[in-house]
Structure 1
Amino acid sequence: MVIGLGRFGGAVALTLERMGHEVLGADTDPRLVHEFAGQLTKVVEADCTEMATLDQLGVADFEAAVVAIGTDIEASVLAVLALCDLGIANIWAKANNDKHARILERTGARHVVFPEQRMGERVAHLLNERLLDFLAFGDDFAIARLKAPDPIVGLPLMTSECRKKFSVTVVGVKRTGQDFIHAVPDTIIFPDDELVVSGRIEDIERFSAIHNLRQR
């Protein structure tokens, strides 16, 4: 079930539906209900802050619920509380700030997400011209796709020692017109290669900006 069919909730609901899940979408805005009618398994206009309403919708039969209510913090907390009272264990909830997140967690949300904050961080990282894509996990760890830094071009990974010197792991290499290559110590980096690397965010940022690795 997805409660709140705004930009975030709507995207979650449609993606789950495309993945083959049965999705019950709910919102208090009749315009959004009309917009998503026919795109989800079922869409209802309902105030999901009351346990009785959720019970009538059969929410207890769902494996997971997403509370994607945006600006109304009270409504999002009450919806999480009602879901928790119905015995839904796997509750995901959208938070606007850290205080909101703490309340949601104490109310019963198992997972709390900050979609606007995460997207803002992702855009900021991508403003670095060498970073082509960026996905953060938790607070410190990330996987990124980036242009191969010039100093490691022409070298096998065992020679450039990226893990030892920069604490990043080169997971794979993508070359124009070729399939993805899983990186091994003997992998030689060519000009214009794109690398998939993993590591702490600050280490990835530092690695993407290196200038003369061979002198280190």
Structure 2
Amino acid sequence: MTKQREIGVIGLGKFGGSLALALQELEIDVLAIDRYEANVRQMRDRLPQVFQADGTDKAALEQLGFNDMEQVVVSIGNSMESSILVVLNLQDLGVKNIWVKAVSSQHEKVLQRLGVDFVVFPEQFVAKQMAHRLAVPGIMDYLGLGDDVLTREIEVEEWQNRTLRDLDLTNEHQVQVVAIKYKGSEHFTFVPSPDKPLEEGDVLVVLGKAENVLKLKKT
């Protein structure tokens, strides 16, 4: 039987708490801790595994089973020092995949030198998402994958009667059409036919690097 995936979350402030709940909604087991009783109390009825503990205490982490986890997210308020100490503790315990919320560019540099797998600035990430959505109609999502990947909806106008093979967007613009919602349909068709002529009103979902997707025109 396949073992149920479990992710640790250290720090249950606005970001850490929201992340823990979102993971649970995706049916991922979450082991969450916070040093402050108020944060733990707020989550006690919403998460099955939540404990008051200090992530800077390696013995406490080991006692709770973090040494058996493959992935842990660290979201420690505004304390760079505490965050770094938690990372060092997790590394000592053998955690292979550590994601961390950074509080400054200096913090990010230190985390990168420690070999942290993924560093995020939540506010900057959300601000970038909003900027793209406001600037370019049709933006569906901004994916923080390191290479600035966007998915964007484009309604067919000038491309009518042409096929995906004719457009050759992959070679011409370095983007990929991953789905189409044909005119009159309520649902997207994934892996669309390259030889079916497009109609005005069809909606394409394109995926690619942000710079390529943002420059893409419907001509």
TM-score scaled by length of structure 2: 0.84
Choose which of 176, 188, 193 in structure 2 pairs with 1:180: 188
Q: CA deviation at 1:108?
A: 4.5
Give runs of aligned pairs for residues 6-21 of structure 1, distance below 5 A.
6-21=13-28
Aligned residue for 1:80? 87
Give SS of 1:151's match: coil
Distance in 2 (alpha carbons) for counterparts of 1:108 and 1:115: 20
Distance in 2 (alpha carbons) for counterparts of 1:92 and 1:8: 13
Equivalent AA in structure 2 for residue 183 of structure 1: P
Aligned residue for 2:172? 165
Choose which of 128, 132, 138 in structure 1 pairs with 2:139: 132
Q: 1:137 to 1:72 in 2, by over 3 A?
A: closer
For the 8 Å contact 2:156–2:199, the answer to whether it is kept is no
Q: 1:172 to 1:19 in 2, by over 3 A?
A: closer
1:56 paired with 2:54, answer no
Equivalent AA in structure 1 for residue 215 of structure 2: R
Distance in 2 (alpha carbons) for counterparts of 1:191 and 1:183: 16
Task: Name structure 1 gaps, 5 residues minimum.
Answer: none
Distance in 2 (alpha carbons) for counterparts of 1:90 and 1:164: 35
Equivalent AA in structure 2 for residue 46 of structure 1: A
Aligned residue for 2:54? 47
What percentage of aligned pairs have identical amino acids?
Answer: 35
Deviates more, 1:44-53 or 1:137-146: 137-146
Q: CA deviation at 1:29?
A: 2.4
Aligned residue for 1:205? 214
Aligned residue for 2:5? none
Choose which of 99, 107, 120 in structure 1 pairs with 2:106: 99
Aligned residue for 2:96? 89
Q: 1:194 to 1:7 in 2, by over 3 A?
A: farther
TM-score scaled by length of structure 1: 0.85
Give runs of aligned pairs for residues 112-127 of structure 1, distance below 5 A.
112-127=119-134
